[in-house]
Structure 1
């Protein structure tokens, strides 16, 4: 069981969908009290279930290079790059492998990272490291546009889909935007893949023991139509969620 004990935002005050706000001066990436444990789990998943957590669909080589360099240029405090090696917040040293960019980043950051490239009228998921899926499968979504990725999310209406695509089109280099979500879970496991044909079962708010929240940041790669969608997953016991029934 890997849990955080706090959140850096008020999770019980959601914004109207799609809930986007400017990130401003806040860091693109965070490090929290579960960093070491989450990174150990990420390493285990990439070693034993790589095909489930890393996938690509012919991403543009230049965009992938930009992704790797841009992320490494925005590492949070506690990290240091020296040549082709990154020293991490838990003391590990990770070698930067340009032939495995998603695997490299997956060993450095808590974040899952999705590369969305413009193909036609929509942004399409062309590459990702997704160790902590929240009730979806990377293999079902790779190579698919935004509208397909959000099936079977009932709240993702056609109007919301159009607004989200406009956000992807409008996000500017150096001006990231962010949102968060919040779902109550019975199971605190971080790796929870689920097929789109088997939707997540309904849970009754106030009775499930764990809150799962994702801090999602969107930022455009320089001189590109490609957007990075990064996901920092928090899992808290109900007693650690301020304002929730059962909180200490």
Structure 2
């Protein structure tokens, strides 16, 4: 996948909005040139930090298997140049062998095949949809241990505007999503490093070592689809990270930097705090202005 594969800060999307768009099946999962590197990192996290990156309620086995089957069908049909059967394994890029073993939870096996994180949300009860299983190796500042079992409200309670505006709409979308429909949304954040595994709190201070190419734009590409047999909703999260320095070499980099700066400066205090940019907004905006050839902070 090229640099700046998804750019929700270019004016096409509005921050802190639901912003869901339907996509065709062929665009559901998007393996790129970092596939083997990121899958190796997932393997290490599943081995060394299992309780941090994987949780599942006992009655989710059938739903997990349904997810694995759906992902296998998609990858083998849509990306046959990168995925193929090898007896009881899936061979990825001709070199990585992923066993389809009943000894491992099916959702963990599915996570070893794709760069996306995988979260299962289950309907039921007064709380509505709950997080009942997840393989979450690359979180953007949230803890699976803290959020496991949480409802939609619990997962998004600290998102500015969720309780007032977004919550009711989100619940309606979850309830109305039909099998066979896939929807996508994008959001962005700014980090001082390119690490994918960020399970710490959003409120943890971030160290900034100067803005000379030391900041990174982190985009989350999220999709939702309902599993037809279980009725659960699969939430996929793909993280893409680009350094600010790439704005300076990309043909459209100045426009993209200007778009990110405009969205950053439009955030209100609560939104800045949520993105942990309240102390660094002007520093980041000034660097983006320099890249974009603009004046001002």
TM-score band, normalised by the shorter chain? 0.7 to 0.9
> Where do 1:111-126 residues align within 5 Å?
111-121=116-126, 122-126=128-132
Larger Rg: 2
- Say which structure, 1 or 2, has more relative contact order (CA 8 Å, 6+ apart): 1
TM-score computed with the length of structure 1 as normaliser: 0.88
Residues 177 and 83 of structure 1, relative CA distance in 2, 3 Å threshold: farther
For the Cα contact (< 8 Å) 1:57–1:142, is it kept in 2? no
Q: Which one of 87, 92, 115 corresponds to residue 88 of structure 1?
A: 92
Unaligned 5+ runs, structure 1: none
Residue-by-residue CA offset, 1:164-204 (whole Å, 9 max, x unaligned):
11111111111100101111111221111124xx6255899
Residue-by-residue CA offset, 1:6-54 (whole Å, 9 max, x unaligned):
1333332352410100012542111112222211211111111111000
Unaligned 5+ runs, structure 2: 248-252, 258-287
Alpha-carbon separation, structure 1, partners of 2:72 and 2:171: 27
Structure 2 match to 1:49 = 49
Alpha-carbon separation, structure 2, partners of 1:232 and 1:189: 13
> Where do 1:1-248 residues align within 5 Å?
6-12=3-9, 13-16=11-14, 17-75=17-75, 76-77=78-79, 78-89=82-93, 91-98=95-102, 99-121=104-126, 122-195=128-201, 199-201=203-205, 209-241=215-247, 242=253, 243-244=256-257, 245=288, 246=291
Deviates more, 1:10-19 or 1:108-117: 10-19
Q: Indicate the SS of the match to 1:43.
A: helix
TM-score computed with the length of structure 2 as normaliser: 0.74
Residues 226 and 165 of structure 1, relative CA distance in 2, 3 Å threshold: same
For the Cα contact (< 8 Å) 2:46–2:54, is it kept in 1? yes
Alpha-carbon separation, structure 2, partners of 1:108 and 1:199: 32
For the Cα contact (< 8 Å) 2:64–2:105, is it kept in 1? no
Deviates more, 1:7-16 or 1:119-128: 7-16
Residues 90 and 247 of structure 1, relative CA distance in 2, 3 Å threshold: farther
For the Cα contact (< 8 Å) 1:240–1:247, is it kept in 2? no
Residue-by-residue CA offset, 1:120-170 (whole Å, 9 max, x unaligned):
241111001000010000011111111101232224234201111111111
Q: How many residues align?
A: 242
For the Cα contact (< 8 Å) 1:5–1:236, is it kept in 2? no
Q: Per residue, is there more helix in 1 or in 2?
A: 2
